[in-house]
Structure 1
């Protein structure tokens, strides 16, 4: 679906009339919107609102007729800098959330006043998107992930519960690797899902080796004891083992559930999407489809046994992880109600399945795609493409879609585009030539996930719609430990030239002039924002990388530089290829070493930093899952400086998802540069209200009721736009008191 101007985009609003047909079905499915007890209806007790992942609230006090009157009710400024992606929990009167340094805080939900604060042993900078809450009506436990640990806290006091694990915490790395696991990174980015007396968890893993096995695990909420494990990289005798090289499970990592999960409580089915296996972009050592990487898994929540699965990308070499928890919905076909599960993707697809058996509810075709010409790489001959709904992001970048913002920007884009390979989805990367990835590595849809109105079966999904590029280049071992270590572990994000792709991937050129050795070491060991931690880089390796970062750019690729880098050739080879050499038995000569590596994530931005293609650059979409038809599509986000020049409604990158309420409003923030939170009419996409936040609201809102007043709260922070205001705060809104 190609959209070349907003004249075309606005055509989608004409589909608004079809919503009246959707609403006619509403009376038949009101029961499906029930959220249990009255207390549950008032609260926001689970990440994204409920275990079904629908981002829905049955509250109606804030509605289409009065949402324009929303005012700030309270603000809690954390006086910290960094990213904040948390969707808070609200239970009773208490709001539970994180700060950018991974402190857990409890606030009065009506006033924003601090009740208690819990600080983990060490501050962290990893994204923390939410918490988990368990109760049996008599006792309660709050679960918080920070760094590599899962903590069990008393919700009333914030104190550790010492009977859980090791004095209140468990190290989630245990059991995911043979031998010493302490030098490998893991982060519980998205909260675990509570089922009965278990908490089921996934985690974020590195994009390169070494990476831990991506097992999905359930732990006892009281003791922290392991209850079950599902191997996402199958062991011998397990389903899917044959889709990998022999014994791949021993040495291959990731295929992890970092995006979160959803649950059909009645059936006891857990829905867990997974990401790609390492390494992300060159699959020389993992020939085959690689189940269960890039897979939507339906597991028995009691035992962890597989019920059904769907692999969205076979042998992924594009980092096309499933980015968010799926959302459960009941749709209607031919007078029948069908319980379904909807999964959004970075590619811009919505996959819809029968919840019980995995049967596709819209046709999915296995379409052929070109083979890779990179030595050692064997791509899948086909990939699954849904026929409905149509993609919510553009799929093919052509020359007539290049930016026209200024004549100079257009001319620059034309020359750049001539050097790219641009043929649509699932085109294998080439060596020393950039291939267009569109929508980009950050979607399409992202980790915020969609909202679904259970009364109508309409899904609301915000999407990025800009182009990135990627490619491969030959691996050259220089004999210089710092150079080789940077190439193997760092160049994927920061580029071979250390220039990165700001702001997401900052430049490391002259980083030693901005940060001390101690500060750089802290970033390496603990990570921050999108950067994973590398706790295994210590001793000689750490000295070598610190020395490398102090070399000038001309010396970078020559092996020249500070004498501190000149450690033995044996140590250098060990540093650069520790995990690669152990894989030589898996695939013969081609697999003996990583002959090629990724050139880095590159956004296709013009010299002024704007997307080098025509808008829309970000959208909010409403799709009727009963029919697969679009109801409306509107731009989401603005660039204030472009607005001032008359370039309006461009859309922008956006991170964090929407919520939908029974009051008929879709509330979403997500946009980076205008820092706004917005409310739209769920029927038509009409903008009903907007407010400029102190920082960007790159998170999913929550809504709840205390003392008869409905609130909407959003986490705001400045990390994704270094040029904008820096800080972090929770901002809550409510209707003004009537006089």
Structure 2
């Protein structure tokens, strides 16, 4: 499907069954919802609000109701606030938790753990039973249980109000890198968590764990890298459970309380792009796993990518939906993907609601690598992102940009899905490393059966290279840092910062601290010795690289390494492919058809020159309401919060925020007034874009 202006694009696709309402599949899902009690809106993670005060007829009257300034500068929190009992809970860029009056934005209390957190922190968890209440927040590898009334840690939880997620993994806790970027889910009296870990070796295992909400005691664990005797053990080398890592849940989970199931999407195994040390399919990496929420026992699973060597993590919470099949309604779970596909399964048994085809893909020509011969893809719903990059899809923004793109394209390998990387030649990843879909997750409308998902339409490239054999600062950099920052330290801004000309604020001490602790998408490196980190810091700042003598045991070193993430951009920094560079999609889960699709996002300077509706990268997801609206911010460059007609994709309202808001909004009502609130920071904007840290709430004017 080729790009066209948004209004025409949406109109031409309306024939695919959009706005006609179907009988309500689950009236209980449409019960009055005045709060936003969990990440994703509720335990079903459908990002749906039954509120109707703000609707198609009056959304144009929205105005700022209140603003809360965190006064910490940007930090990539990506926070979706939680609202319960008239209180809004939000995380600051340094991972302090604040409680605000949800009607006015006035601060009620602020919890400071004493640890400065950095990078993504997408939400908190809330538990209540009888008269007891607790809010759980994460700072680095710690999870704190706080009294919602005071913000004070509850001493009876764990040790002085907190638990350390590095404990209980069967490995030295001091050498584990694990951060809870997406909040855990609540089931009865359990807090169930995953975590973000390093994706290069050595890496922490991605165990899923449940903790008692009152005591912090661990009640069960599920090993995503199976131990001897466990299901899936034979899909790995025999000792993988001791030495391999990742296969973790960083994107969040979803709970079906009625059926007692927790649905867990997982990411790739370490290392991401070369798997000679982990030959085999590698369960439970790249899986959607249904676990018994009471015990942690596997009920069913589906593996979307076998032996992943492309970093094709499941990037978001699954959504619990109801889908019409004939005359019956089916309780289903829908999972969006980086590849631009949606998988839909029956919740109780994992039976696909649309056929899944096993498709053949080429082998790897890299020594030691054994790529899977086949991968499973759904035949429906149809992909919501383009799947094959061809010469006729290159940019025509200017003749010069087209010539550049064409010359580069002819040097690349691949262009379609699941093409293995080569040594010394760039391979195209399309959709790119960041999707397709990303962590913002989809929204689902139970009135119509439409699933809404924003997609990135970017091409990226990379390659493999032979690892150095001499232990030096450069070798340590290439093994541990080049994955993201590249062999030449050029990175891929704004997602992956460059390390050249870092400026006066970065000295060896600052680089040492951030390497040890981690920040943003970067994990900490507790496995490196102090002398090794100091050597890497000196190499980054000066290029000095000498052989390193160390008593520390050698880290795991593979024969080949990933050379870094590279966007396929033209000389002026715009995508080297034709628009759309980002889309917003409505998918009918009853039929599997795309109901409508529009370009989503703009580059303001291009729009000013007449090149509008190009779409752009976006991080953060949509929310949908019974008032007929989709609210979404997410776009990297235009700093907009927008409202669309959920039936047609027509833009009904937009406002420019002080900073780009790479986060999913929350919707709630207090005192009879409906609010939409979003976290704006600007972290993923370009270097010269405005940056800050504010929560901004919108509402209709007071009567």
- TM-score, length of structure 2 as denominator length: 0.98
String of CA shifts for 1:242-262, please: whole Å, max 9, x gaps: 111112111111100110001
Q: SS of the counterpart of 2:196?
A: coil
Alpha-carbon distance in 1 for matches of 2:427, 2:219? 44
- Alignment of 1:347 with 2:339, yes or no, is yes
Q: Which residue of 1 aligns with 2:680?
A: 716
String of CA shifts for 1:406-457, please: whole Å, max 9, x gaps: 1111111111111101230000001111110001000000000000011221
String of CA shifts for 1:486-531, please: whole Å, max 9, x gaps: 0110000011111111121111123364512222222112222122
Q: Which residue of 1 aligns with 2:499?
A: 508
Q: Which residue of 1 aligns with 2:14?
A: 16
Q: Which residue of 1 aligns with 2:521?
A: 530
1:444-459 matches, cutoff 5 A: 444-459=436-451
- Alignment of 1:141 with 2:122, yes or no, is no
Q: Which residue of 2 aligns with 1:85?
A: 78
Q: Which residue of 2 aligns with 1:699?
A: 663
Shift of 1:545: 1.1
Match for 2:571 among 607, 626, 636?
607
Q: Which residue of 2 aligns with 1:730?
A: 695
String of CA shifts for 1:528-547, please: whole Å, max 9, x gaps: 21222223434211221122
- Alignment of 1:73 with 2:65, yes or no, is yes
Q: Which residue of 2 aligns with 1:125?
A: 118
Contact 2:209 2:220 in 1 (8 A): yes
Alpha-carbon distance in 1 for matches of 2:527, 2:559? 23
Alpha-carbon distance in 2 for matches of 1:142, 1:411? 55
Q: Which residue of 2 aligns with 1:280?
A: 272
Match for 1:673 among 637, 641, 656?
637
String of CA shifts for 1:631-663, please: whole Å, max 9, x gaps: 110111010000011100000000000001111
Shift of 1:702: 0.2
Alpha-carbon distance in 2 for matches of 1:471, 1:518? 32
Q: Which residue of 2 aligns with 1:312?
A: 304
Match for 2:537 among 546, 550, 556?
546
Contact 1:396 1:422 in 2 (8 A): no
Contact 2:415 2:430 in 1 (8 A): no
Contact 1:712 1:733 in 2 (8 A): yes
Alpha-carbon distance in 1 for matches of 2:675, 2:9? 34
Alpha-carbon distance in 1 for matches of 2:6, 2:25? 33
- Alignment of 1:405 with 2:397, yes or no, is yes
1:183-582 matches, cutoff 5 A: 183-480=175-472, 482-511=473-502, 513-552=504-543, 561=544, 565-568=546-549, 577-580=554-557
Contact 1:126 1:147 in 2 (8 A): no
Match for 1:5 among 3, 6, 17?
3
Alpha-carbon distance in 2 for matches of 1:230, 1:290? 15
Q: Which residue of 2 aligns with 1:655?
A: 619
Shift of 1:14: 3.1
- Alignment of 1:33 with 2:14, yes or no, is no
Shift of 1:619: 0.5
String of CA shifts for 1:684-730, please: whole Å, max 9, x gaps: 11001001001111000000000000000000101112220011100
Q: 1:475 to 1:238 in 2, by over 3 A?
A: same
Unpaired stretches in structure 1, ≥5 consecutive residues = 553-560, 581-593
Q: SS of the counterpart of 1:621?
A: strand
String of CA shifts for 1:97-121, please: whole Å, max 9, x gaps: 1001000000111111111111123
Q: 1:479 to 1:215 in 2, by over 3 A?
A: closer
Contact 1:342 1:350 in 2 (8 A): yes
Contact 1:177 1:212 in 2 (8 A): no
- TM-score, length of structure 1 as denominator length: 0.93
Alpha-carbon distance in 1 for matches of 2:478, 2:87? 47
Contact 1:144 1:151 in 2 (8 A): yes
Alpha-carbon distance in 2 for matches of 1:150, 1:321? 24
Alpha-carbon distance in 2 for matches of 1:376, 1:623? 41
Q: Which residue of 2 aligns with 1:585?
A: none
- Alignment of 1:107 with 2:93, yes or no, is no
Q: Which residue of 2 aligns with 1:557?
A: none
Alpha-carbon distance in 2 for matches of 1:566, 1:629? 58
Alpha-carbon distance in 2 for matches of 1:382, 1:423? 17
String of CA shifts for 1:116-151, please: whole Å, max 9, x gaps: 111123101121000000110301010001101011
Q: Which residue of 1 aligns with 2:603?
A: 639
Alpha-carbon distance in 2 for matches of 1:135, 1:469? 47
Contact 2:346 2:353 in 1 (8 A): yes
Shift of 1:11: 4.5
Alpha-carbon distance in 2 for matches of 1:567, 1:670? 44
Shift of 1:183: 2.6
Q: SS of the counterpart of 1:285?
A: helix
Match for 2:559 among 589, 595, 599?
595
Alpha-carbon distance in 1 for matches of 2:258, 2:450? 22
Unpaired stretches in structure 2, ≥5 consecutive residues = none
Structure having the larger proportion of residues in helix: 1
Contact 2:5 2:599 in 1 (8 A): no
Q: SS of the counterpart of 1:275?
A: coil
Alpha-carbon distance in 2 for matches of 1:337, 1:45? 26
Q: 1:423 to 1:8 in 2, by over 3 A?
A: farther
Alpha-carbon distance in 1 for matches of 2:269, 2:511? 28
